[in-house]
Structure 1
Amino acid sequence: MINARQLEVLSTVIEVGTTARAAELLSVSQPAISNMIRHTEDLVGFALFRREHGRLVPTREALHIAQEAQHLFMQQKRVDNIINELRGGTIGRLSIVATPSIGHGILPRVLADFMRSRPRLNLSIELGSVDEIIRRLVSGRADLALSITQPRHSALSVRQIGEGRLMCVCPADHELALSSRIAVTDLNHVRHISYASTTPLGQAVDAVFSAQGLERRYFCEVRHTATALEMVRSGLGVALVDSFALLGPGDPGVVVRPTTPVLPMEMYAVTSNLFPTSNLAIQFQDFMAGALKDGAEQLAN
């Protein structure tokens, strides 16, 4: 059986006509090339070259073998290119599961930037709760998760990739839009869209009210900040929304104000310990972290 190295030597000698030149191109000694040719002829059972005027002239059989070998070399080159692209993160498949506020907000914009240099990348995007994130990562159905709530599971690795905070959003013509900063407890005096006390967001807001001996009141309960933001855009009331959902182009119909006290938030990148983390997933984590840092600076300004 002829191996790839023997085919490479055969094709090179056919191309340049001498073992000396082939040895130079392949960075080996001339005797090594001659020995390889003789060994290959022994394997195939017939001559591959004849000498004419100091040059090696390939036989018809050698030319036929070399021609077929070109397909192998092209395929090998294609495989090498794919490996290099995978190493560089320019092709492949990236499966992401994210909480809705991230999936409806910053994720599409960051993915658009990420894919400008990776047009051949295939994506799979799912939105779900923290429980759904855990299920998909543990089962291997997702490479990476993005969440504003830290999932807790022994099979998961969690990395903080961004810092944010809850911001007060209200329609542009709302009375609160006249204030430069909104006290969280003042939301009890307006039509307030908020989150159940059983959710992490609801508990964080409840803590502010409890510290002042108050009970939080709201007229509409939603599960996700993305839903709250859309309701504010529709003029239904005022809400506290994570700053990650507010990154990017502003909305002229909505006013964003910082709160007193500040309610900090984090975004987490989550991967499974049960499966190797793909190079693409690692690259996108870093890319998202950079985008969050840039976006936070713009929002602060």
Structure 2
Amino acid sequence: MLNPRQIEAFRAVIVMGSVTGASQALNVTQPAVTRLIHDFQRSLGLPLFVRRGSRLVPTEEALALYREVERQFVGLDRIARAARDLREGRAGTLRIAALPAFSVGFMPRAVGEFMVERPELDVALYGSISSQVVDWIASGFCEVGFVQTPIESAHLDIEPLVSAPAVAVLPAGHPLCAKTVLEPADFAGERFVSLENSTQLRYRIDAVFSQARISRQSRAETPLSMIACAMVAAGAGLSIVDPFTAAEYDKRGVEIRTFRPHIHLDVACIWSAQRSRSGIARQFMSFVRGKLATFADVEP
């Protein structure tokens, strides 16, 4: 069995060019390095160094052996670096699932920015409706998820993230663009692009207009805010959507306006209650929480 300390001393003498340099690098005495080298040569049965004056000069056999030793040390360095990166949350694998409102632009940008400082991190990002995200997290297919609340599940830990007010989206140049805040009365008789009645936001929007006794001309319907925004940009009508999706279409044929009374989209981060959370996943959730600050409802 080769002595690791002898191999380390051999490598240090080659790299540093002298016994003195090796002793300083290893923080041991010069006699200790000399003894390690002598014992290493004897155990191998190879002449590794020849003395020229006060210097030890590596033989051809030593240089050939060094190349093999260096490959092994590089492998060990990689293992140590990988462990450090995992410890510091700079490497590993992260599987993320997010509701459609996040998937259009907000979440891909957040993931990209997060990865810039973590070049060894592998990420998988999936987008789907909140119920599907719940299934992916509960089954362990993804580690961290972002969903619209309220939801209930005994298999999940749920952490509220943001309560963001929905916004009105109008075709560029529409007369209502002259206003900074829109109310239900502004939509009276206007063509309206509705979200599908399978979405929580649709029910909340309908409730507001019903309470105000305002009728809209609902001529189009879609389950996704991104489709609603694209239809608005094409002139199909007005709509009310989540602010995350609306931000992706701002100035792309669409104008965004505040809508009152506020209709909130509540978003939470979810985790499996049966699995531990990796450090990298916790870091990512904190990173996203910071990014969401600009969307929080800060108006009275």
- The TM-score normalised by the length of structure 1 is 0.77
Aligned to 1:253: 253
State how many pairs are aligned. Answer: 299
**What residue identity is the alignment partner of 2:169?**
V
Residue 181 (structure 1) shift: 2.1
**CA–CA distance in structure 1, aligned partners of residues 100 and 16 of structure 2:** 62
**CA–CA distance in structure 2, aligned partners of residues 61 and 150 of structure 1:** 71
- Residue 295 to residue 249, structure 1, CA distance change in 2 (3 Å): farther
**What residue identity is the alignment partner of 2:139?**
S
Q: Alignment RMSD, CA only?
A: 3.8
Residue 244 (structure 1) shift: 1.5
Structure 2 gaps, min length 5: none
After TM superposition, the structure 1 stretch with the greater mean CA deviation from structure 2, 54-63 or 142-151, is 54-63
Does 2:98 align with 1:98? yes
- Residue 259 to residue 57, structure 1, CA distance change in 2 (3 Å): closer
Residue 138 (structure 1) shift: 2.6
Deviations 1:104-149 (A, max 9, x none): 1322333444445556654433221112112222333223323333
- Residue 35 to residue 249, structure 1, CA distance change in 2 (3 Å): farther
- Residue 276 to residue 185, structure 1, CA distance change in 2 (3 Å): farther
The 3-state SS of whatever aligns with 2:235 is coil
**CA–CA distance in structure 2, aligned partners of residues 46 and 178 of structure 1:** 88
**CA–CA distance in structure 2, aligned partners of residues 44 and 259 of structure 1:** 81
Query: What is the identity percentage for the equivalent residue pairs of Structure 1 and Structure 2?
Result: 29
**What residue identity is the alignment partner of 2:239?**
A
- The TM-score normalised by the length of structure 2 is 0.77
Does 2:203 align with 1:203? yes
Residue 103 (structure 1) shift: 1.0
Deviations 1:138-163 (A, max 9, x none): 33322332333354333333333444
Deviations 1:182-222 (A, max 9, x none): 22365463222223555321332244345557898844332
Deviations 1:71-123 (A, max 9, x none): 11222233344445555655554432222222113223334444455566544
- Residue 87 to residue 235, structure 1, CA distance change in 2 (3 Å): farther
**CA–CA distance in structure 2, aligned partners of residues 184 and 3 of structure 1:** 81
**CA–CA distance in structure 1, aligned partners of residues 169 and 288 of structure 2:** 24
**What residue identity is the alignment partner of 2:147?**
S
**CA–CA distance in structure 1, aligned partners of residues 22 and 233 of structure 2:** 72
Equivalent residues of 2:190, 2:216 under 8 A apart: no
Aligned to 1:271: 271
